[in-house]
Structure 1
Amino acid sequence: MGYEADSIISPEDNIPIYFLRKTYDDLSWNGFVESVQSFINAVDWSQPWLWTLLGFHVITLFTILKLRNNTTSLAVITFGSNILKVLLVGLAKPINTLAHDNWQKFSIDNYFDKSGFFISMVFSFPLLCNSMFGIVLILNEVLHLLRKVKIAQIKHQRAKVSLLEEKRKEKQDDKKLKNK
């Protein structure tokens, strides 16, 4: 049962295209920027615990950047800390519940809702972004190493072919000398 272009009676019948258009309109860049701005404006960023958390994420990012030229250390830090990061992200819900119950001890406002949106944005999301950044740097280095290995293989193969060609020419020259 094929669907022909003329079998569409009205624009509403073409659901996938209109669905995508509606979704794109609903998730426009301006709406996203407004949501981010309202989130940033709603939080009092002068609180020490937020600065400490931000400092942790910045130190993690700078550590990854500092180690980007030392692939072995970067791999150890990235993959070793990924286990810790996955554990921390997995513990985000219990941490959120604990923070929701005890927010008066360290915060001015209770940002810790039941859905965990705030802790996801200020804790889990930066951890995951730092992990992804480290993995991208490692993959970039792996690609460079693969390129170097392939170039070395091609050079070796060319040298081998060249050597075989020289030996073949020597044999031909030897045969010519014997025939004279």
Structure 2
Amino acid sequence: MTHQKLQNASSVPIDGFSNVRITSIWTFLMSVQWSEPWLIGLLTFQAICFGLTLLTCRFYRLQICQFLVMVAMVYSAEYLNELAAMNWRSFSNFQYFDSTGMFISLVYSIPLVFNTIFIVVIWVYRTFSTMTELKILQLKRKAQREGRKKTQ
């Protein structure tokens, strides 16, 4: 039993730049050097995208465009990962871009997907609100028509 545990422990990848055993997403994210300028820029970009989502809540067409752009960006993440894996030395101190795309998924795609989900939730909420308002108007008009019929 202990031999099996040792074998499983040795199969856990070791992060090359901080020698921390990566056993979860949290340890992986903690092993990233977040002080690199391109990572700060990426985090700033994600914050700007979320801020734009909040600011464009009342502008459907603008939010549709933002939604489509973010979906296209998530779709292109695989190609961006390949490009970054080939040229990582020009902008980064470490090779974060593996063939499975875990890093780019965690720091690039998942925040964009959460942003698009937030937009869809806003759309569903507004649709339900509009449907509720329409039903209330229908009931008021029906009540007015019935009131007129009774007075005639």
TM-score norm. by structure 1 comes to 0.68
CA RMSD of aligned residues (A): 1.4
In 2, Cα distance between equivalents of 1:88 and 1:67: 19
Partner of 2:42: 53
Q: Which has the higher helix share?
A: 1
Equivalent residues in 2 for 1:1-180, closer than 5 Å = 35-68=24-57, 70=58, 73=59, 75-167=60-152
With normalisation by structure 2, the TM-score equals 0.80
Unaligned runs of 5+ in 2: 1-22
Could you tell me how far 1:58 is from its partner in structure 2? 0.7
1:129-153 superposed Cα distances (whole Å, 9 cap, x missing partner): 1111011112111211111111111
Q: 3-state SS of the aligned residue for 1:43?
A: coil
Q: Percent identity?
A: 32
Q: How many matched pairs?
A: 130
What is the CA–CA distance in structure 1 between the aligned matches of 2:62 and 2:114, rounded to whole Å?
Answer: 15
Larger radius of gyration: 1
